[in-house]
Amino acid sequence: MTPFKGLVLGIETSCDETSASLLDGHTVLTNVVSSQADLHRKWGGVVPEAAARAHVEAIVPVVSEAIGSARPDGIAVTNRPGLVGALSVGTTAAKALSMSWGVPFVGVHHIEGHVLSVFLEGVGPSLPYLCLVVSGGHTELVIVRGVGDYELVGQTIDDAAGEAFDKGARLLGLGYPGGYAVQNAAIGGDPHRYKLPRSLKSDPFNFSFSGLKTAVLRMVEAEQVEVNDAAASLQAAIVDVLAEKSARAIDQFGFKSFALVGGVAANLSLRERLHSECERAGVSFHVPKPEFCTDNAAMIAMAGSFRLASGERDGASLDVFPNSPLPGTA
């Protein structure tokens, strides 16, 4: 896992965060994130048109703040998957900067950025490692053998873990974005107060969270819930399922390292639980700092850095894609 020699500018605009980061090897020099959460809160979710417009407004100041007076030697930009209008803003900026500076650029798969985020600020796990990706749109167990060499072991058959947090938060009146709100409301709450389902128990590595959302809806319709206990019960239901299936995969595949990545990896309860599962199994546990779990350009710069180092280059014809499998798993 050799990074690119020189400074890499990362650009991330796939959803509702405009982010730019400057990376030197594994060292994050800057990581600027401009969140659109306030903009989308009134709608209770991301509105694609509004997101694209907000990226247009933010991209120049965010990139300028990230690079300061430095001149990057390479650029990495998220070009898939995500909202097409949003992705286009970052990709167009990357192409323009690449041309005007005369430096190479590569398009990066957003989930590959999360998967490789454990290499930020350190040497990272030994290969191969098992990786649980938990974000707003993805819940996947992946074997990572190298850059672009991934094997999908399991995934959600319906909602992602982040969606379960977000939809549950909305039903509990905890607002948007939901994950962090549920985590805070769960502090001091009783996780055993409300019985919520742990679905798809019989399937070893696939996940299902849509039944949990329905159960939370029934719960709030049936009675006036105590919100801290309800948040704690919801968090425990999500964490239990993620931890049990991860532990099963850790034991079955026998790799020496396990990585927890994606926005939901910022969740303290999940971090603690998987840390102890790894300790039990004698496996080293890797999780990025919370700021590198939620969407950020540093992880895109890291993934792009590995690709640039191996000689990969993209050109002006690079396209953006709303849906795209993780490279190497198609």
Spacing of C-alpha 221 from chain mean position: 32
Stretch that binds ligand KG4, among 43-51, 171-179, 276-284, 320-328 (CB under 6 A): 171-179
Rounded Cα distance, 32 and 119, in Å: 18
125 binds, among ligand KG4, Zn ion, none (CB under 5 to 8 A by kind): none
Minimum Å distance from CB 2 to ligand KG4? 26
Minimum Å distance from CB 268 to ligand KG4? 7
Within residues 264-323, the interface with ligand KG4 by CB under 6 A covers 264, 266-267, 294-295
Rounded Cα distance, 143 and 149, in Å: 8
- Nearer to ligand KG4 among residue 259 and residue 264 (C-beta): 264
165 binds, among Zn ion, ligand KG4, none (CB under 5 to 8 A by kind): ligand KG4
Q: Which residues contact 223 (CB under 8 A, 6 or more apart)?
A: none
- Strands of the 139-146 sheet, one edge to the other: 149-155, 139-146, 129-134, 257-261, 284-286
Tell me how far CA of residue 158 lies from CA of 86, 218, 311, in angstroms: 24, 19, 37
Rounded Cα distance, 277 and 93, in Å: 42
166 binds, among Zn ion, ligand KG4, none (CB under 5 to 8 A by kind): ligand KG4
Rounded Cα distance, 46 and 201, in Å: 32
- What is the DSSP pairing of strand 27-35 with strand 17-24? antiparallel
For the window 243-272, what string marks contact with ligand KG4 as x by the rule CB under 6 A?
-------------------xxx-xx-----
Stretch that binds Zn ion, among 5-13, 150-158, 232-240, 293-301 (CB under 5 A): 293-301
Within residues 14-53, the interface with ligand KG4 by CB under 6 A covers 15
For position 229 contacting ligand KG4 by CB under 6 A, the verdict is no
Query: For Zn ion, which residue of 16, 17, 112, 295 counts as binding (CB under 5 A)?
Result: 295
Minimum Å distance from CB 194 to Zn ion? 29
For position 125 contacting ligand KG4 by CB under 6 A, the verdict is no
First to last CA, the chain: 22
Minimum Å distance from CB 299 to Zn ion? 8
Read off φ and ψ for residue 213, nearest 5 degrees: -60, -45
Do residues 94 and 49 lie in contact, with contact meaning Cβ atoms separated by under 8 Å? no
Tokens matching residue 56: 């247009």
Tell me the residue type at 320: V
For position 17 contacting Zn ion by CB under 5 A, the verdict is no
Residues that bind Zn ion (CB under 5 A): 135, 295
- Footprint of ligand KG4 (CB under 6 A): 15, 135-137, 162, 165-166, 177-180, 183, 262-264, 266-267, 294-295
